[in-house]
Structure 1
């Protein structure tokens, strides 16, 4: 427990973190990887370069400082991050390294403003926060290993099938190399894939949502190939998976993780909204609903550029044809001439509130959505404008968590 003086000091630094948080976390990662380059085997290099990891950490530190006198308030954030840490293989022994580096970064950025008293208070606070993470993650490691078909760390899986789903998305069906059982998962969860790419100094780990229903003897991930776009370089892992990994190859996989999961106890209608490759957890949820809760009404909405990049469409349409409680709608912002000739979509342009209200059968639904961040900001804004309660709005970031409270952007 922290004493009142320490709590008061930590809370007094909240305004400073608002201003300098990202600068501190940027310096933190620079120092961390300079002093401990072995950690580059764990962290996503692309997220570092794009600044997403720094922002996510700054937000987490800011939230911890705000609620330092009631850390129970941030347990949902601790669990969300804990899932990612367990999936990546971050352990208790990493936390002292992180703590020492974070304190050094605060001192480096704030200079004389970071007095010995402030640094000491943050050292004590970090110890309490780290203990919360370590405790939650220890339970997750134990559960992942002891569940039926579970395991610790990374396990070799063979690619038993590789399927091109669209111009940019390919599915990989993964079965354990040892022929043993595999852990079940909740629809919406993900696995981590660890790759040693020839010519690369460090291991690369990426997390991919499972795109099929649980209960199969395999896991399926559907991966978008991230090509060069303006100032953003091509995705090393996604390109390698698309171009180099073939059937019979072996990939190292962590047990399923993640807290963005379908509430299967809720019997109300559900609306699943996706953009681009964000449809992968939505398809897992849809297949699960069709198999286990055939009375529950489902509206499935997917936004894509056009039919050429629209993956898994056939699977969704087949489910909708077989189950009258499922309705599926497509929104293309740049339909091809073939799309137009085939009338292959329900709306041209972007998802807007008027269209959403016209196709969602019952407003009193639970809403799940996933996709590019600008897309999610808009969907979140539309649902809030419609008056959907926050408790019924659920979403997942691909990569480090961010904020959806900025100005909405076109989807």
Structure 2
């Protein structure tokens, strides 16, 4: 009996090792970045499976990436190598399955899908160009590449045959705003360059919203944070699900407002309410945002998509040139001022990004995220 037991155990281990190696190969075939939290889990499980419990010295506090990796591995404690192999294999399998399921959701025959995007989905149907944030595993956080993709999509939507453009999010979140992992691999000596490049990119990004020539509608399907909230003053209509929230935690992160919100929010909701949001990080419910003029209308979540898209299709059937000309009349007097505000906000942010306050806030963020 002991001999049989040993034989079965050895066979199981052999299969497990084979599956583990196969999972490593499958992981390389993933087309979509699974996100840093998932990559940390994969790293930790791989190290635990191949080397056992964490045995390396703890990295320095400012070495964000190595510190996050070390914390992830160390958090697995005494988990056995067999169990780590199993968990690694199961996690890769779930990622492969999720990606395969996503690829089967083809666009409808009359919906044109625009190629060349990784982090957003751009489609045109019924005279509407829809730009959808598509990093649901990262709560649609906006990384540098995604910023550039949105810029490109807006520039193309401004010139195509659509009547209106719509921005929304895929999954539970509208977007969680700027991806703080944009700061992750920056060495202290490169902080100034990072800040300068980041401010230049942000200025170009916001300028696309200021200059967009057609009606622009935000369909806020869930929580919105940071830049996604501050930009709302540049949209022509904002529709929100009743489960959406609106949060601008800039001072909490050692940063400052952007998206022309320092100018537009006091105009939209009054100085006192704008101060609560932009200075003191107050999170608004959809109903509160609507009452303060930031949101046009709120819909029950269960009927949100159906009601909003029925309305948008009706808007998109209106005369295209008439809508564009009317928007320009409404917006043209403010354009020069908005570009000046955008420039000033980006200058201030460039200084903020190199400040000790901001650096300490980012260190705290990564410490929290590294705990699995």
TM-score between both structures, scaled by the size of structure 2? 0.33
Higher helix fraction: Structure 1 or Structure 2? 2
TM-score between both structures, scaled by the size of structure 1? 0.30
- Asked which structure has the greater CA Rg, the reply is 2
